[in-house]
C-alpha cells in the first residue's frame, strides 16, 4: 500500500499544470509534488494517477514514488493568492503526493537530441499510454522528465502526470475496450517506438492479480459514491475488468503509425490554412497577436 505522510510545510504552487499542484515538505523529510482533491479535475484524476503510475512501476518503467499526504490548510496560511487558498481549503485531509525529482529536466526535442531514446523503451511507454488511454503525453506536453541532470549521471526517462488517463471512467457505459485512439502525436512518436515488441513483452504481464494489486492502492474515499456501483470494491473490479479486456484486445488498438516531426509540421500548416480559408473575410484580416511583431522603418507594426 502507498505510504502515508503528513505535510509540514507548503512551499509553493506549481502553475505549469491545470490542476495547480503544490510543492510540499512532509514529516518524513521528503519533498513532494502534491495533487489536491479540491482541484477542478476532481478525485478521478488522482485515481488515474495511482492506477497508471503503479501499473507503470510494476511493468518496470521509471515513475516517482507516490504517497498519500495528509494536508492541513493551516500549513499554507502564508500563501498570498486567493485562488490557491480556495483550492487548499477545499483539500483538507488525504491528497496524493509524488516524489519530487530535484534537477529533473522536461523532456523536449532539444533534450532528446542530447541523450537519445531507446526504441524499445519508447515502445513500452507508448504501449502503456495506449492501454490506459492516456491522452496527455504529446509533442506539445510530454509529461516526461529526464533525471538525473545531464553531466552528473546517465539520464533516464521518468514518467509523470497521468491524471488525464483512463478516460473511460468518465463514461463507463459507453466505452469499448477495443477502441483505438490517435497516438500519432505522442511525445515519443518520433523515436521509432517498437510497440509490437512492447506488446509481446508487457501484455502477458498485465494479469488480473496485478491489476487487483494496483487498484487496491486507491483509497476507498476516492472511489466511494461512484454512480452505478455498490461501493469502492465494485469500482475497483470495474477498472480491473476493463483494463484486462483492453489488454486482451491490444491488436485492435496498438499504435504503429508515427509520422515524423516534419510530417506533423506539414499537417499543422495545412490545417491552419484550411481553418483560415473557412473564416469570413473580416476575420481573415485580424492580426495574429501571438506572432512576432515586425516593425517597419516608419514605425508601423505588423503581427504574424
Exposure string for 265-290, b = 16+ CB within 10 A, e = fewer: eeeeeeeeeeeeeeeeeeeeeeeeee
The reported pLDDT for the residue numbered 109 is: 87
Q: Are strands 31-35 and 22-26 parallel, antiparallel or unpaired?
A: antiparallel
**32 beta partners:** 24, 99
3-class DSSP assignment, residue 57: helix
H helical segments located in 59-164: 82-89, 109-115, 119-131
Integer Cα distance of 30 and 210 in angstroms: 28
The reported pLDDT for the residue numbered 28 is: 97
H helical segments located in the chain: 43-58, 82-89, 109-115, 119-131, 195-202, 208-215, 232-248, 250-253, 261-277, 281-284
Integer Cα distance of 263 and 47 in angstroms: 36
Give me the residues of the chain with pLDDT under 70, please.
Answer: 17, 149-152, 278-304
Integer Cα distance of 240 and 238 in angstroms: 5
Q: How much is the pTM?
A: 0.87
The reported pLDDT for the residue numbered 303 is: 32
Distances (CA, A) of 143 to 60, 108, 158: 18, 10, 9
Place of cell 490545417: 271
Distances (CA, A) of 204 to 124, 183, 240, 281: 13, 22, 15, 57
Number of Cβ within 10 Å of residue 92's Cβ equals: 15
The reported pLDDT for the residue numbered 259 is: 84
CB 219 within 8 A of CB 236: no
CB 187 within 8 A of CB 138: yes
Amino acid at each position: 500500500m502507498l505510504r502515508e505522510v503528513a505535510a509540514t510545510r507548503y512551499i509553493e504552487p506549481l502553475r505549469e499544470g491545470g490542476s495547480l499542484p503544490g510543492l510540499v515538505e512532509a514529516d518524513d523529510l521528503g519533498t513532494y509534488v502534491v495533487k489536491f482533491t479540491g482541484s477542478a479535475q476532481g478525485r478521478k484524476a488522482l485515481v488515474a494517477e495511482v492506477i497508471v503510475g503503479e501499473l507503470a512501476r510494476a511493468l518496470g518503467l521509471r515513475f516517482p514514488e507516490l504517497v498519500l499526504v495528509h494536508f492541513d490548510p493551516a500549513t499554507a496560511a502564508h500563501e498570498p493568492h486567493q485562488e490557491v487558498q480556495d483550492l487548499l481549503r477545499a483539500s483538507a485531509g488525504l491528497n496524493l503526493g509524488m516524489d519530487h525529482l530535484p534537477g529533473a529536466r522536461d523532456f523536449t526535442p532539444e533534450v532528446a537530441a542530447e541523450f537519445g531514446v531507446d526504441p524499445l523503451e519508447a515502445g513500452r511507454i507508448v504501449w502503456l499510454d495506449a492501454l490506459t488511454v492516456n491522452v496527455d503525453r504529446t509533442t506539445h506536453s510530454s509529461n516526461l522528465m529526464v533525471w538525473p541532470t545531464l553531466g552528473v549521471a546517465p539520464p533516464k526517462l521518468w514518467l509523470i502526470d497521468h491524471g488525464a488517463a483512463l478516460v473511460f471512467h468518465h463514461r463507463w457505459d459507453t466505452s469499448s475496450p477495443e477502441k483505438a485512439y490517435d497516438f500519432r502525436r505522442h511525445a515519443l512518436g518520433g523515436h521509432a517506438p517498437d510497440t509490437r515488441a512492447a506488446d509481446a513483452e508487457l501484455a502477458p504481464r498485465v494479469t488480473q492479480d496485478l491489476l487487483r494489486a494496483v487498484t487496491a492502492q486507491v483509497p476507498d474515499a476516492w472511489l466511494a459514491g461512484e454512480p452505478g456501483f455498490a461501493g469502492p470494491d465494485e469500482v475497483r473490479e470495474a477498472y480491473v475488468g476493463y483494463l484486462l479486456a483492453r489488454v486482451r484486445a491490444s491488436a485492435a488498438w496498438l499504435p504503429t503509425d508515427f509520422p515524423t516531426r516534419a510530417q506533423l509540421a506539414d499537417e499543422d500548416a495545412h490545417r491552419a490554412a484550411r481553418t483560415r480559408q473557412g473564416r469570413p473575410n473580416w476575420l481573415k484580416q485580424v492580426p495574429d497577436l501571438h506572432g512576432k511583431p515586425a516593425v517597419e522603418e516608419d514605425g508601423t507594426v505588423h503581427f504574424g
